[in-house]
Structures are given as structure tokens and as C-alpha cells.
Amino acid sequence: MGVDPHPGLLAQWGLEDTAASLEYFAFTVLDACGDVSAALKPQVALFERHGSAGLAVLEKFQAKAAQQDVLVVADAKRGDIGSTMAAYADAWLGEASPLATDSVTLSPYLGFESLRPALDLASKNQRGTFVLALTSNPEGRSVQHIGGPEKSVAGSIVQAAQRENESSAWQNMGPCGLVIGATVGQALSKLNIDLSTFNGPILSPGYGAQGASAEDLYRIFEGIERQVLVNSSRGVLSAGPHRSSLRDAAQRAAEELDSASR
């Protein structure tokens, strides 16, 4: 479940565009959907736009989710180099930071190894990462598809993530996940990217309001479905602000995904 307090959604819920509204929105989603979702994915930028008050809401939200044993994917898309990347890693994956949570999204487009501080800290602290590989936005193709079927940028990121997981001692999947959009269509096959042996989780946004169907997901991720964390945001959030309506919408989405597998 995405936790995306867009100004338009706040207005749709009858809320003002304030930090207090963020808190009501986020905690309503947690209370309604936390126990019927595999994880909650707050969009960090939508909290950051309210400055320190918005980040304080995010800290409280992530703390309460942890108390309720609800997994959180902080959608921060952090990526930098050297000591700056180490600081980002400490913020989202360290033991002492109030923002630290179960996993965080990362951008590898300063080079996959620029993420090393976050990759190492995630493994050390039993947390996870999701590295942008093949995203749903049309602009992503101008970078991610470079190199074509033999040496695409996206393919190199997938390979690097697989090597990262192979070097870890985790019992099941490794801590380095990927972000692959549900609306990428035939891009995986066109770029000759084989996910059949990928040994980590895959976060797939784009289901529901962004246009991807349950059938699309099963077609794109055939054979590795159990590794895919499907994200729905507006498709469920637009059912708010009533908790019962949000919960019903989340359960319908889960049922749709389940029925498409049969």
C-alpha cells in the first residue's frame, strides 16, 4: 500500500494541505490497511514538502508501524557518493536515526557501487534496499534502455543486484531488491533481461490507477511472482477517508491479484 498524501488526495479527503492533515492521512491508512497489506510505502517527498513538521509525521508513522509489526518501504530514492551516501544510509538504515526503517528505495545512476554504504549497512542491520532498475516513467527509457539487448543500463543494474545478493549470507532472498515498474510492458524481453534467477525482492509500482492490471503483473513476472511486492496507491487511497472504505479497497486489490493467478 502506498502512503502518498498528494495535495489533491488530501483535498479529496476533505483535508487541508498541512502537516496535521498528513498525520491524519498516514495514520488512517496504517490503521485501515496495515494488517491487510504486505507493507506500507510512504512517498517521502510528500512528507518532505512540509519541512521539519512533515518529517516529524513520517518519523511517528514509521515508529507506530514498527510497533504494529507492519513493514515499511521508505520511498526516498536516495543516491549520492562518498560521505553523503553514507549519511543517507545512516538516516534510513542506521540503528540510531529516527527515520530508519525496514527498507528504502535507492537510485543507482551515479554508479551502482556509489550505493555501497547503504548496501553494506542494510545487510549489517538486517534491513533492505530496493534499487531503481526499470521504472514506469517514459523518461526512464532514455537512460535505462541505453545499450540495447546486450548491455542495457537496466540489465547491468539487475546483474549487480544479483551479485550483491550472492555475496550475502541471508537464508532466503538477499537484501538488495529491485524496482521494476508494472507498466514496463515488453521492456524486459526487449532488453533481454532474465529475472528467473534473481535472488531478491522486486518492488513493482504502477498497478491500479497508473494503468497496470493484475494480468500485466503475472505476464511480466511469470515464474517469480512470489518475489514481487506489488504497490497500489491512488487506486486504494481514493476510497478514503473512511477506514472501512480504505480497507475494503485494499482487500479488493489483493483479491484481484490473487484471482488473476488462477
Annotated catalytic residues are 77
> Are the C-beta atoms of 231 and 208 separated by less than 8 Å?
no
| Chain centre to alpha carbon of residue 118 | 16
Residue 224 CB neighbours (<10 A)? 14
d(CA 148, CA 154): 10
Ramachandran angles phi, psi of 222, nearest 5°: -55, 130
Q: Give me 205's grid cell.
A: 509500482
Torsional sign, CA 123, 125, 127, 129: negative
- Closest C-alpha to 130, from 106, 94, 166, 162: 106
What is the grid cell recorded at 181? 515498474
